[in-house]
Structure 1
Amino acid sequence: MERRRTSLQTRTYKTLMRVGLVLIYLIITGTVALVVFSRVREMAAASELLPDFTATEKQGPSENVTFEEGQTLPRWTGTERITVLLLGIDERAQWDEPAWRTDTMMVLTLDPVTMKAGVLSIPRDLWVEIPTFGYNRINTAHYNGDLYDYPGGGPALAMLTVERNLGIHIDYFARVNFEAFITFVDEIGGIDIEVPETIDDPEYPDNNYGFDPLYIEAGTHHFYGDMALKYARTRHVGNGDFDRARRQQQVVQAVLERVRRPDVLAQLITKAPELYQKVESSVATNFKFDQALALAGLARDLDREDIRFAVIDESSTLFWETPQGWQVLVPIHDRIRERRDFMFWIGPAVESNGAAEENATILVLNGTQTEGLAYATAQYLQAHQVLASYDTADRQDYESSLIILNRSMPKTAQNLLAVLKLPDSALVQGDNPTAEYDIVVILGRDYAEP
């Protein structure tokens, strides 16, 4: 009798995606740069609260930047694609830590000629090879780079890790923390959010390794920074991290709508020196200040339909538990390349059959006398991005194969029929709703071994 084993962990495990927060960070830095520069141009004064970019002008513009008479912002003159790695860290002043793992990693790209942009979100538990440090979660690259004084620190090692594992050349980085987001949302007077369903998260984390229970009624709310951050970060509700990603995008849109209001923009201009001083310590980057301003001008002219969003999600990764007991995401490189190419506008949209979103647990049982059939089938399913455990059935004389649905997983069921090349008649409804597995596949004599 085959011993029950798990090809990869089938426990429910959601990819941690903080997609919207990093975009918000970009809005923070870009908007602040815009208003600060505009304010100084208008006043022609040098405040001690402002960055020393006037000296840069005297020394000449940075690479790919030019200043033109009568223009408020410098102009980006480069014609090559620009790619930026955004690193979000949950750095709190009360936590005395030597280095920080990245809570968010995202690649942004912009072609200044075609004015096409893209965003790729990278899960923090992606299992990759980190140069000089070996295999680990991708979010440890920044931590190790800072902790062990890697040349260029954490950002440099994180950039190199992304380049080598995803095949993406990174030009710049921007590292930000949550305090910048809270400050910015407060300064713009909060944002309006339509909460589609009540949120009750008793396990929302506080700032001291405990819980700060979160409850938000469904309906329209006006959130200031702290509550907006909680709304964007909570994941112990609904469909976990996937619903959280949608909330984060909703917050991004709300911030964009808010800062476009003339009265809010006027307030930002008035508060520009003070606001820059508040967020400056929360942002680190290898951009020169005039480069950031010039790129902010480019970003301002982007149309929404010219921005592509892609996520390295569970349809492009496999869940796995390492020998140390860590739950990680193993990349499926072909699927990740599809998302990368889509983000860079050199490939079509990646279609999903919806099975990954159901996150079904699957057990394959060998109901024949063919030794190793369940194991071979589990491996075959894994190659088709379907995670399954395997074992031996209660008997070995099944004539027909069965796909038993203990819970409603219609998209996964249809995908199994297609991948295993079984007839629709193989689908049967189970009578055990408390069963350990959502779907049990019993292989019979009619099954053609892959």
Structure 2
Amino acid sequence: MKVRTRHGLFLVLALAAVMFVAQGRLPGASVAAAQAFPTNTPRVLPPPTNTKRPSATPLPPTETPTLTPSDTLTPSRTPTPTETFTPTRTPTPTNTPEPTLVIMGTYETPVLTPVTAIPYPMATPVPSGDDVLTILLLGSDTITEGAVARTDVIIAVSVNRTRGTVSMLHFPRDLFVYAPNDTMRKINTIVNEGNKRFGEGGGIKMMKESMKYNFGLTIDYYARVDFVKFQDLIFKLGGLELSVDCAIEGNRLKSPDLDYTNPDSYEVYTMNIGMHTLDPYMALWYVRARGSSSDLDRGRRQMEVLRAIWRQARAKGFIEQATVLLPELLETVDTDMSAADLLGLAPLALSIDPVNIQRISLAQNVHFVEWYTADTGSFAWIPNLPAIQAAVQNFVLPPPRNRLGGESPTVQIGAALAYKGYDQVAADRLSWEGFTIQMIGSEGVPARTDTVIYDYTGGAKPASLETLRKALRVHPSLVLSEPNPNADSDFRVEMGRSYGTSCFYGLPQ
């Protein structure tokens, strides 16, 4: 049953909040660490015909799909991909009627000749054995409500109901992937193309199949919203309370009421490090700004906004009112989740600790490389499949198992009154990394020029210390070792004035 609801989205990290559009293609940073993939690669060649692609787990058998076919769409034929499959053997487009969409693991020969080799299907991640639900959050890039648009926000959310954790994984819009029963294309064009070829709903099914084929992810549900509905969501929240840990610059409307098609309506604006209360237009600006940023960074910011909306919705009691609010059935989020599905997530949405929410970003030259198509010269990212498979495996595991070497660090954070707000920004930043935060306010905290870290562990938690130092951009000389087995925390951070100018997107740090 399709449900359109204004507040039910809050039950999945405020579900509708993730749908905003990112534009631009500048390289960005990542939280992942892996061996660098070669840069300036003109084209990724297909693997040798007798060489298997490395994978964390054995690839699925070629003759037995691992997924159950849909009850409503029956595959008309089920040939499977083989190692000898190359673009030269694919058929050319014809004027014959389009085939019925083949879904859930039966990958037909592409209808359109691909411009590069089709990769092998990704192995399914090793399951954790927990009760895990995977939801695909999609955002369209239209300002006109209901208009046809690209899917420029793609974030997978893994909800582990056994352990009470949530993971988010952002997929860059320019990833060049195989859309089963179609061809190689940018991932943000799949939904529109699927709707054109197979009718309403075909795009979502093709996107789910693409996630399964290229990343090994089985998508249980989807949720989608556009610019207009995203701003409506922020309005209902009464604005968005957000911590910004890196300054960003871009063009914004001088007033939200001005004509967005007129260049004279814009001004250059810088959002500085600190705590901000964003109105609907500025919340949208934050998740779209590209003047000094990139699509990769926008994915990180979109996940920040997701968490901020969930936290604010919980604080305002929206989640507790879920039973009353769901029947409103207002037009905010398009989803295939039922009211019962959403209500079932309410207990977790109410109880989850921010430390149990993680975000995963894919990195240029690690998970993909820059590439240009041979036919039109269009820009795209070619995936490095083994690296992406490792990220996906990390995504399906609960956060405490794979962060900071299992050190479970605690940190006290304070700031002098003159720099109040920096402590909250630092706390929000560190909670992404798995730190348990203790806010100590401003009493007894000196007005420092630079941020200082006190290490009370005597070096016993090196992974945590290094993550702490890098996240807050603290020079090693400002880390003071003061071993104290009776300390109330592992580390203490006193924020300094220089933190406010320590990061600006687009500039070397």
Question: Which residue among 251, 259, 269 is the counterpart of 2:305?
Answer: 251
Question: Which residue among 282, 285, 294 is the counterpart of 2:344?
Answer: 294
Specify the SS of the correspondent of 2:134. Answer: strand
Give the alignment's Cα RMSD to 1 decimal: 3.8
TM normalised by structure 2 equals 0.47
Question: Which residue among 371, 383, 400 is the counterpart of 1:331?
Answer: 383
**Matched length:** 276
The verdict on how the C-alpha distance between 1:236 and 1:25 changes in structure 2, with shifts beyond 3 A counting, is farther
Show the 5 A alignment for 1:36-75. Answer: none
Partner of 1:422: none
TM-superposed deviation, 1:108: 1.3
The verdict on how the C-alpha distance between 1:192 and 1:340 changes in structure 2, with shifts beyond 3 A counting, is same
**Is 1:175 paired with 2:224?**
yes
**Is 1:126 paired with 2:178?**
no
TM-superposed deviation, 1:208: 5.6
Greater per-residue helix proportion? 1
User: Would you identify which runs of 4 or more consecutive aligned residues in structure 1 move more than 4 Å?
Assistant: 23-26, 194-199, 203-211, 266-270, 272-277, 346-351
The one-letter amino acid of 1:163's match is K
Show the 5 A alignment for 1:248-397. Answer: 248-261=302-315, 264-265=316-317, 276=328, 280-314=330-364, 315-323=366-374, 324-345=376-397, 348=402
Specify the SS of the correspondent of 1:236. Answer: coil
Partner of 1:6: none
Q: Which blocks of at least 5 consecutive residues in structure 2 are unaligned?
A: 1-8, 18-128, 406-509
Deviations 1:201-252 (A, max 9, x none): 2388998666544514535542111111112220212x43455445444434
Q: Percent identity?
A: 26
Q: In the alignment, is the contact (CA less than 8 A) between 2:249 and 2:289 conserved in 1?
A: no
**Is 1:215 paired with 2:269?**
yes
Q: In the alignment, is the contact (CA less than 8 A) between 2:178 and 2:185 conserved in 1?
A: yes
Q: Which blocks of at least 5 consecutive residues in structure 1 are unaligned?
A: 1-22, 32-77, 352-450
C-alpha distance in 2 between matches for 1:242 and 1:236: 13
The one-letter amino acid of 2:305's match is V
The verdict on how the C-alpha distance between 1:276 and 1:201 changes in structure 2, with shifts beyond 3 A counting, is farther
C-alpha distance in 1 between matches for 2:237 and 2:181: 43
Q: In the alignment, is the contact (CA less than 8 A) between 1:24 and 1:252 conserved in 2?
A: no
Specify the SS of the correspondent of 1:100. Answer: coil
Partner of 1:236: 291
Q: In the alignment, is the contact (CA less than 8 A) between 1:30 and 1:296 conserved in 2?
A: no
Partner of 1:89: 140
The one-letter amino acid of 2:201's match is G
C-alpha distance in 2 between matches for 1:175 and 1:269: 22
TM-superposed deviation, 1:79: 6.8
C-alpha distance in 2 between matches for 1:154 and 1:338: 27
TM-superposed deviation, 1:130: 0.8
C-alpha distance in 1 between matches for 2:245 and 2:130: 43
The structure whose Rg is larger is 1
C-alpha distance in 2 between matches for 1:209 and 1:86: 28
Q: In the alignment, is the contact (CA less than 8 A) between 2:16 and 2:333 conserved in 1?
A: no
Partner of 2:58: none
Partner of 1:414: none
The verdict on how the C-alpha distance between 1:230 and 1:276 changes in structure 2, with shifts beyond 3 A counting, is farther
C-alpha distance in 2 between matches for 1:350 and 1:319: 30
